[in-house]
Copies of this chain bind each other. A is one copy, B any other.
């Protein structure tokens, strides 16, 4: 138990470090120096640099799920949940869940040109992330909350682009207006596909009302 707690706190620091300085910089030596631990102590937890980096990616994934997806899944399926994922993503940049900005946006750009197990792990997570976004759009469509002819992949692509664009402008350009701009664009995109102008939590009722009218 104590070993597992130690490992988790090492990984917490590894994730923070990666978000600030890049995942490639997360090595046994760099992390030992940063934590004031011996390299052999770290080797007891992670047998190699690659194992350490894969464990770091996995810990970052858990942190993202806890901060963005899990809270959104407390919302009703459909439009409320889709909206909560978008709102949650922008909040997560503002709250500095990763001190150097989104771990996964950074790791995606860092490793896209470097074939190997690290790139594969990042791609798998990012494919899964975009699929989650697409599924939340499909669910909103199937609930009747958004238009049945919505282009699911197109909308997911545009939303994700806005998330990454917000992270870029906020982190590199320190543009404090970027998150509001991203949220405005997100609202525009979602509003354009909404089935009804009335409350998005009861669109089925609204559709019936429209048919009666």
Contact = CB atoms under 8 A, between A and B. Distances in A.
Interface stretch (A28-36, A105-113, A138-146): A105-113
Contacts of A164: 161, 164-165, 168
Count of chain copies: 2
Given A24-B22, A109-B109, A112-B100, A157 B165 contact: yes
A122 to B, nearest CB: 7
Nearest to A169: B157
Contacts of A119: 172
Contacts of A165: 157-158, 160-162, 164-165
Interface string A18-55: 01111011000000000000000000000000000000
Contacts of A182: 157, 161
Contact of A109 (B106, B157, B161): B106
Interface of A: 19-22, 24-25, 99-101, 105-106, 108-114, 119, 122-123, 126-127, 130, 153-154, 157-158, 160-162, 164-169, 171-173, 177-178, 181-182, 184-185
Contacts of A113: 19-21, 99-101, 171
B108 A112 contact: no
Contact of A172 (B19, B112, B158, B178): B112
A122 B130 CA distance: 28
5 contacts: A101-B109, A154-B184, A161-B165, A162-B165, A164-B165
